[in-house]
Amino acid sequence: MAVSSDTTALLSNESRCMSKLRRVCVLLRALWPLILGNAFEFYEFSIYAFFIPYLSKVLVRGNQVASWALQWVVFVARPVGGILLGWVADRWSRRTALITSLLGCVVSTTLQGALP
């Protein structure tokens, strides 16, 4: 009897461990895109901050305050866009929010290509 109860306890502990492992795997599967996306976003902001002296000469005729203001607008617009697209996803669907986001990227990239 002692052997079977030990085996049952061992299997019970093993199943609890596997359940915790599954939860950790699901959590990591959900978190890695978030971490990667944030890393790319902060990389982009740091690159832009590094190039502000050069961009201010080309884009805003040497006005660094305008260059920093432009970065501030982009920095504020991203969370606002996230809130807005989150509302669109909740209200209609994630597909609609994704299509809206991609169309915004296409339009902004096209407009950047039209710059002199």
pLDDT tens, 49-104? 888 888 777 777 767 777 778 778 888 888 898 899 999 999 999 999 999 999 98
pLDDT of residue 10: 54
- The whole-number average pLDDT for the span 3-11 is 57
State the pLDDT confidence band at 110, using cuts at 50, 70 and 90.
very high
Task: Please give the Cα distance from 105 to 97 (Å, whole number).
Answer: 12
Q: How many residues does the chain have?
A: 116
Q: In terms of residue numbers, what domain contains 87?
A: 2-113
Q: Return the residue matching tokens 């290509």.
A: 113
Which element (helix H / strand E) includes 92? none
Percent over 90 (pLDDT), the chain: 22
Instruction: Select the more confidently predicted residue: 42 or 14.
Output: 42
pLDDT of residue 106: 93
Nearest CA to 55 among 46, 68, 41, 42? 68
> How many domains, the chain?
1
Instruction: Select the more confidently predicted residue: 86 or 24.
Output: 86
Type of residue at 44: E
Type of residue at 12: S
What is the pTM for the complete model shown? 0.54
- DSSP state letter for 113: H
Is 82 in contact with 41 (CB distance < 8 Å)?
Answer: no
Instruction: Select the more confidently predicted residue: 107 or 62.
Output: 107
pLDDT of residue 100: 92
